């Protein structure tokens, strides 16, 4: 099933520079998100998807794909012609994994014939790729953020893939994202569990027919 919901009300956190994400968490807390649940501002309305809490930002549509049990398999934020796909994964407490993951993504893209280059972005090194699709070449921008025992991966599509300034409200969502890692031990890189909020699950169930979600 695909469930879409537009959110209202939101804000943007200050875009301060941070040299090292993990060190910033150990110090006074992150200057902006994605935040760990323990560091997140509590004055923001968010959509609770379990491991990810997505801030309510005007004009941003949250598209969630889930199985019949309500387990979320994909989260995509949409604003106009731009989209941001989100994923969150387990990581070690002592070090980030984005550098390693980024290199594996790069190798995979190159192996598929994509044109790939690295670029310095607000969160550190990003991947910019042009991939071949049935509809023609498509630009993608991969962003990774290492937090305490987690990593968020975002993939921009549309104009935001080549021009970060075009991300607008989608960048606001990423800045205000909150990760609820939980205390359970998990293998490194395992996706953290996502689920539909109760009201969304109930609405999805009401609209489903037998055998469908």
Task: Output the average pLDDT for the chain.
Answer: 83
Range of lowest pLDDT (9-23, 80-94, 99-113, 141-155): 9-23
Domain contains 190: yes
Average pLDDT over residues 45-55: 95
pLDDT grade for 200, boundaries at 50, 70 and 90: low
Peptide bond preceding 34 in cis form (omega within 30 of 0): yes
SS3 21: helix
Whichever domain contains 161, its CATH number is: 3.40.1000
Instruction: Indicate whether 28 belongs to any domain.
Output: no
List pLDDT tens digits, range 162-191.
999 999 999 999 999 999 999 899 999 999
pTM of the entire structure?
A: 0.80
Is residue 8 assigned to a domain? no
Confirm whether 194 is domain-assigned: yes
In the chain, how long is the greatest CA-to-CA distance? 52
Q: Residue 57 sits in which domain range? A: 35-198
Residue 9 has pLDDT above 90, yes or no: no
The answer to whether the beta carbons of residues 13 and 175 sit under 8 Å apart is yes
List, in sequence order, every beta strand (DSSP E) within the chain.
Answer: 2-6, 35-36, 46-48, 52-55, 61-66, 72-79, 82-90, 115-121, 124-133, 136-147, 150-157, 178-179
Overall number of domains in the chain? 1
State the Cα–Cα distance between residues 113 and 125, nearest whole angstrom.
21
d(CA 146, CA 168): 22
> Does residue 188 lie in a domain region?
yes
Task: Specify if 1 maps to a domain.
Answer: no
76 in a domain, yes or no?
yes
- pLDDT at res. 127: 97
Q: 2 phi and psi, to 5 degrees?
A: -120, 125
Residue 20 lies inside a defined structural domain of this protein: no
């Amino acid at each position: 099933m695909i469930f879409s919901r537009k959110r209202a009300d939101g804000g943007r956190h200050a875009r301060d520079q941070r040299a090292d994400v993990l060190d910033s968490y150990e110090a006074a807390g992150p200057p902006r998100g994605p935040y760990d649940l323990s560091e997140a501002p509590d004055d923001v309305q968010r959509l609770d998807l379990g491991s990810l809490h997505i801030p309510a930002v005007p004009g941003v549509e949250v598209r969630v794909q889930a199985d019949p049990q309500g387990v979320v398999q994909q989260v995509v934020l949409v604003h106009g012609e731009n989209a941001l796909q989100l994923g969150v994964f387990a990581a070690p407490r002592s070090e980030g994994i984005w550098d390693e993951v980024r290199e594996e993504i790069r190798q995979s893209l190159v192996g598929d014939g994509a044109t790939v280059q690295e670029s310095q972005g607000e969160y550190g090194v990003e991947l910019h790729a042009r991939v071949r699709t049935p509809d023609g070449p498509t630009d993608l921008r991969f962003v990774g953020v290492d937090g305490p025992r987690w990593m968020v991966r975002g993939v921009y599509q549309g104009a935001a893939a080549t021009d970060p300034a075009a991300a607008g409200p989608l960048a606001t969502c990423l800045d205000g994202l909150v990760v609820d890692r939980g205390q359970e031990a998990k293998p490194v890189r395992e996706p953290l569990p996502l689920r539909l909020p109760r009201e969304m699950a109930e609405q999805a169930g009401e609209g489903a027919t037998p055998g469908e979600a």
